[in-house]
Amino acid sequence: MTPEKKMVSLEEFLQMDKENEHRLEYFDGEVVYLESPSIEHQRVLLNIAAEFRNYFRGKPCEAFITPLDLWLINKEKSLNVKVQPDLIVICDKTGLRENSYTGVPILIIEIISTTNESHDRIRKYRTYMYFGVNEYWIVNPKLKTIEVYIFEEDEYKQVAIYKGDDCAASQTFKELGISLKDIF
């Protein structure tokens, strides 16, 4: 089952977003309705978030978890994109609002499931690369893996696929490492 999609203007989307009880993402005219995450998804996200919270405590960057609207923008890109990544790390806090962040996070983590795998692996991967998100992690609870991608020369390069007894390491934050045993 894939998320339901519908093309609308930004103004229509903003109205839908106010009135709708579902989590919505917006890709320059296309609305994607997100399903509620599974219990397994929530456990993995909470474990990762706890590790990130501990790492970033007292540092200038900060980690946030979904649901938090992320409006991706930069000076050169004119697309209107709103997503709800599972976890984001931001260092430039000028874009923080009450319920959203406008800008480009330095790191994004998506936890995939059978209902959203292509959405995270294709659409969000391309979107985050287009906007220059420095580091992108794809977490697969079923396979118990973490894929780490780094943005170099206008594209993502896969740094590693972590599994088993590995410790997933950030390329941006050199001392940030997470044991997969603590996540899954």
Long-range contacts of 118-125 (CB under 8 A, 24+ apart): 118/2, 119/2, 119/3, 119/32, 123/27, 124/83, 124/85, 125/149, 125/156
pLDDT higher than 90, residue 11:
no
Going from N- to C-terminal start, the domains of the chain cover 37-183
103 alpha carbon, distance to own chain's centre: 13
User: Quick one: 37-183 is in which CATH superfamily?
Assistant: tt1808, chain A (3.90.1570.10)
pLDDT higher than 50, residue 1:
no
How would you write 13-24 as a 3-class SS string?
HHHHHHHCCCEE
Rounded CA-CA distance 117/14 in Å is 26
Q: What percent of the chain has pLDDT above 70?
A: 95
Q: Is the pTM of this model over 0.75?
A: yes
The pLDDT tens digits for 139-182 are 999 999 999 999 999 999 999 999 999 999 999 999 999 999 99
Distances (CA, A) of 12 to 15, 18, 39: 5, 10, 32
